[in-house]
Amino acid sequence: MMMLKMNRFRALLLAGGALLISANGTGCSILDNGFGGGSQPTAYTPPPAPVEEAPAHAHALEVTNPRPAGSLAGTLFENTDSVDAVMPLVNVFGEFGHDSAAAPRFGPGGFEQVTFLDEGYDSDVEVSPDGKWLVFASTRHNERPEIYLQRVGGLSVTQLTTDSADDAFPTFSPDGTRVAFCSTRNGSWDLYLMDLDGKNITQLTSSQMQELHPSFSPDGTRLVYCATGTRSGQWELWTIDLRSMEKRMIGYGLFPVWSPNTKKDQIAFQRARQRGSRWFSVWMCDLIDSEARSVTEVAVSGNAAVVSPSWSPDGSMLAFSTIVNPGLHNGSNSNAYPTAHGGSQQDVWIINADGTGRRRLTDGNGVNATPTWSKDGRVFFVSDRGGVDAIWSARVSKPTAIMTAETKRANDPFASTSKDEVGH
């Protein structure tokens, strides 16, 4: 089984049919709202399995017996009546149903490992606005990913979701009291909202599209997310107003994140340079009167996909991942995602919001993916450098990982680009 924002990496998202839906290479554009507004959120009644205590009383869980994997039911845009139906998982390229081989083991290399597990994987990590809590998806107790909460610096976890579906891409509200996430519990990928203790789960979307990767606006009243367009056949960017439940399409792209900067509405996302391509770059757009304006390409590479953007707490910088030669395939399986032992290097970088000051944070060892920022200046990310897909962190303030001319290698994803680079 794979995972969603890059584990087996948002580089791997979840398992199922192999339909490619990628982003358009054109700018953000505005289309008519296909849903209309005014509908109310649907209250979701979770299964009777117990929910762990609130974060203040977090404790380790007992390992449960894994449930057998089901079979893929229905097609990509088709809702099914069975909650147990296995919906397709999505990799970092927006492709459904791809898997990868196991990656080799690497030493810690001076980075701090944050989560520890004996089996399964951790993925989709986010840090609370106060920097005290982590929320992430994991298969440590189940073959399908559930949502977990862990105190930064702690080891015990609280399981927030307990169901037979896939739960992924959790994100904190700006006040830290709620978590938005996506789940297949209703037959397709939809958005949900719950309290920090896992209670009061509310379903936010219920269309025939696959809706993923929610991100809160700075005031907590709206979400931006990506969805598979039933008409366009592409990944589209949507917003939903949590007060009126009005939904609006704002353009094309994948894995959007809303800037925490309260002075203007700004959204970062990844988009393919050409439709159907794995060669992604990172873009930004301003949201003015609910329309995308000033669409700008921020990070692009000549030999790597640039994916999974994440804002710094003040909105002045972005972190992202690079995947060298994303078009390469492993072995005889033409659908296999390239891993470290297959020759594809994956690293975490940071860059100023204007595209200058690029720095590499990781060292080229293992797969390093889906970064997210913390209030204290650390960047958390998912890596297999310890042998399993777990959460690690690195401090931005230390310049030891900066790429210089002396340390450039043939597979440097930015070797042929002209943007200013720190340490150059």
Provide the CB-side half-sphere exposure for 236 (13 A, CA). Answer: 24
State the Cα–Cα distance between residues 227 and 416, nearest whole angstrom: 33
| pLDDT reported for residue 81 | 40
| pLDDT reported for residue 340 | 37
State the Cα–Cα distance between residues 129 and 346, nearest whole angstrom: 27
Catalogue all structural domains in the chain, each as residue range(s) with its CATH number: 42-401 (2.120.10.30)
State the Cα–Cα distance between residues 87 and 77, nearest whole angstrom: 10
| pLDDT reported for residue 147 | 98
State the Cα–Cα distance between residues 51 and 382, nearest whole angstrom: 26
| pLDDT reported for residue 230 | 87
State the Cα–Cα distance between residues 149 and 21, nearest whole angstrom: 31
| pLDDT reported for residue 94 | 82
Question: C-alpha distances in angstroms, 367 versus 28, 80, 225, 266, 370?
Answer: 31, 34, 25, 29, 10
Q: Are 346 and 367 in contact (CB under 8 A)?
A: yes
Residues facing residue 346 across a β-bridge: 323, 367
State the Cα–Cα distance between residues 89 and 78, nearest whole angstrom: 14
| pLDDT reported for residue 125 | 98
Q: Which of 4, 172, 198 is nearest to 87 (CA)?
A: 4
Q: In what order do the strands lie in the sheet with 222-228?
A: 211-216, 222-228, 235-241, 247-252
| pLDDT reported for residue 97 | 65
Cβ count near 49 (within 10 Å): 11
**Rounded average pLDDT per 10-residue block, the chain, 424 residues:** 43 35 38 38 47 39 32 30 56 68 37 94 98 98 97 96 96 98 97 98 96 98 96 94 97 97 95 91 95 96 96 97 80 41 77 95 91 96 95 75 42 58 38
Q: Are 3 and 168 in contact (CB under 8 A)?
A: yes
| pLDDT reported for residue 93 | 80
DSSP 171-204: EE-TTSSEEEEEE-TTSS-EEEEEETTS-S-EE-
State the Cα–Cα distance between residues 123 and 274, nearest whole angstrom: 28
State the Cα–Cα distance between residues 424 and 417, nearest whole angstrom: 13
Written as six digits, the tokens of 18 are 């192999």
